[in-house]
Amino acid sequence: MKIAVAKGDGIGPEIMDAVITIFKAADVPLEYDYVDMGKWVFDKGFNNGMTDDAKKTIEALGILFKGPMETPKGKGVKSINVTARKTWNTYANKRVFQTLHGVDTVFSKAGIPIDITIVRENIEDTYGGIEHMLTHDVALSRRFITRPGSMQVIRYAFEMARQKNARRITCGHKANIMKITDGLFLECFYEVAKEYPELKADDVIVDDLCMKLVVQPNNFDVVVLTNLQGDIVSDLCAGLVGGLGFAPSANIGDHICIFEAVHGTAPDIAGKNIANPTALLLSGIAMLRHLGLLEKAGQIENALLYTLEQGVHTGDFGDKSIPSVNTTAFADAVIANLGKKPEQNAKPELADVASSCTVLHLDKNVMLESKETSQEKIVGVDLFIESSELPEVIAKKCQRHAGVKFNIVNVSNRGTQVWPTGSVYTNLVNQYNVRFESIDDHSLTQQDVIGLYVSLSGDFKICSLELLNEWDGKKAYSLAQGQ
Ligand code: NAD
Residues 6+ apart with CB under 8 A from 208: none
| pLDDT attached to residue 244 | 86
Interval between CA 261 and ligand 1 midpoint (Å): 10
pLDDT bin (cut points 50, 70, 90) of residue 448 is very high
| pLDDT attached to residue 372 | 72
* Among 372, 330, 385, 401, residue whose Cα is nearest residue 472: 372
pLDDT digit string (tens) for 137-189? Answer: 999 999 999 999 999 999 999 999 999 999 999 999 999 999 999 999 999 99
| pLDDT attached to residue 191 | 97
pLDDT digit string (tens) for 253-293? Answer: 999 999 999 999 999 999 999 999 999 999 999 999 999 99
Q: Whose CA is nearest to atom 7 of ligand 1?
A: 266
Interval between CA 265 and ligand 1 midpoint (Å): 4
What pTM was estimated for this model as a whole?
0.92
Q: Give the SS3 label for residue 436.
A: strand
Interval between CA 244 and ligand 1 midpoint (Å): 8
Q: Whose CA is nearest to atom 10 of ligand 1?
A: 266
Interval between CA 68 and ligand 1 midpoint (Å): 8
- Give the nearest ligand 1 atom to 69 CA: 40
- Give the nearest ligand 1 atom to 249 CA: 41
Q: Whose CA is nearest to atom 30 of ligand 1?
A: 264
Residues 6+ apart with CB under 8 A from 263: 68, 244, 245, 247, 279
| pLDDT attached to residue 356 | 60
pLDDT digit string (tens) for 32-79? Answer: 999 999 998 988 888 889 999 999 999 999 999 999 999 877 656 778
Q: Whose CA is nearest to atom 16 of ligand 1?
A: 245
Quickly list DSSP for 225-282: E-HHHHHHHHHHHHHHTT-GGG-EEEEE-SS-EEEEESS---TTTTTTT----HHHHH
Amino acid at 473: G
Ligand 1: residue of 251, 262, 263, 327 to mutate (most ligand atoms within 8 A of CB) is 263
pLDDT bin (cut points 50, 70, 90) of residue 347 is confident
* Among 150, 180, 151, 152, residue whose Cα is nearest residue 471: 180
Residues flanking ligand 1, CB < 6 Å: 11, 68-71, 81, 244-245, 260, 263-269, 275-276, 279, 316
| pLDDT attached to residue 358 | 59
C-alpha–C-alpha distance, residues 175 and 299, integer Å: 43
Interval between CA 308 and ligand 1 midpoint (Å): 22
pLDDT digit string (tens) for 80-110? Answer: 888 899 889 999 999 999 999 888 899 999 9
Amino acid at 117: T
C-alpha–C-alpha distance, residues 69 and 362, integer Å: 27
pLDDT at 357 over 70: no
| pLDDT attached to residue 45 | 87
pLDDT at 131 over 90: yes
pLDDT digit string (tens) for 293-322? Answer: 999 999 999 999 999 999 999 999 888 899
Q: Whose CA is nearest to atom 1 of ligand 1?
A: 264
| pLDDT attached to residue 429 | 98
Residue 40, Cβ density class (10 Å: 0-12 exposed, 13-18 middle, ≥19 buried): middle
C-alpha–C-alpha distance, residues 131 and 247, integer Å: 30
Q: Whose CA is nearest to atom 12 of ligand 1?
A: 266
| pLDDT attached to residue 126 | 94
| pLDDT attached to residue 128 | 87
Classify strands 63-66 and 257-261 as parallel, antiparallel or unpaired. parallel
Q: Whose CA is nearest to atom 4 of ligand 1?
A: 266
Mean pLDDT of 396-407: 96
- Give the nearest ligand 1 atom to 70 CA: 32
| pLDDT attached to residue 348 | 85
Sign of CA dihedral 271, 276, 282, 288: positive
Q: Taking all residues of the chain, what is their mean pLDDT, rounded to a whole number? A: 94
